[in-house]
Amino acid sequence: MNIGFFTPPLVEGPKIVFFVPLPEFLNRLPIAMDMGNGQHGLPVTITVIGTWFCMLVLFLLFRAGTRKLELIPKTWLQTALESLYVFLDDLVGQMIGSWKKKYFSFIATIFIFILTSNLLTFFFPIPWPSFGPDGVTIGPAFRAPTMDLNTTVGLALMVMVVFVGTSIKRNGVFGYAKGFLDPVPVMLPLNIVGELAKPVNMSMRLFGNMFAGSVIMGLLYKAAPWVVPAPLHLYFDLFAAVVQSFVFTMLTMVHIQGALGDSVMEEEN
pLDDT tens-digit series, residues 233-249: 788 888 999 999 999 99
pLDDT digits (tens, 9 = 90+) for 147-178: 999 999 999 999 999 999 999 998 889 988 88
Burial 182-213 (b: 16+ CB within 10 A, else e): eeeeeeeeeeeeebeebbeebbebbbebbbeb
Is the pLDDT reported for residue 61 higher than 90?
Answer: yes
Q: Give the per-residue pLDDT at 11.
A: 47
How far is 12 from 229, CA to CA, in rounded Å? 27
Q: What angle do CA 260, 149, 188 make, to 5 degrees?
A: 40
Q: Give the per-residue pLDDT at 83.
A: 93
| pLDDT confidence bin for 126, thresholds 50/70/90 | confident
Query: In DSSP terms, which residues pair with 140 in a beta bridge?
Result: 127
How far is 154 from 203, CA to CA, in rounded Å? 8
The neighbour count for residue 83, using CB atoms within 10 Å, is 11
- Mean pLDDT computed over every residue of the chain: 84
Q: Phi first, then psi: give them for residue 131, nearest 5 degrees.
A: -95, 125
| pLDDT confidence bin for 227, thresholds 50/70/90 | low
Q: Give the per-residue pLDDT at 137.
A: 66
Nearest Cα residue to 88 out of 70, 103, 68, 75: 103
How far is 117 from 150, CA to CA, in rounded Å? 13
Q: Give the per-residue pLDDT at 182.
A: 84
What stretches of the chain show up as alpha helix (H) in DSSP?
Answer: 46-65, 76-96, 100-118, 120-123, 149-178, 188-223, 230-233, 240-260, 263-268
Radius of gyration of the chain (CA): 22
Distances (CA, A) of 253 to 21, 65, 185, 234: 40, 27, 27, 27
List the chain domain ranges. Answer: 48-131+142-268
**Quick one: how far is CA 181 from the chain centroid?**
33
Q: Give the per-residue pLDDT at 8.
A: 46
Kindly list the strands in the beta sheet with 40-45, ordered across the sheet, starting from the edge strand earlier in the chain: 16-21, 40-45, 33-34
- Name the pTM for this structure: 0.86
| pLDDT confidence bin for 17, thresholds 50/70/90 | confident
Higher pLDDT, 252 or 18: 252
Q: What angle do CA 118, 50, 244 make, to 5 degrees?
A: 15
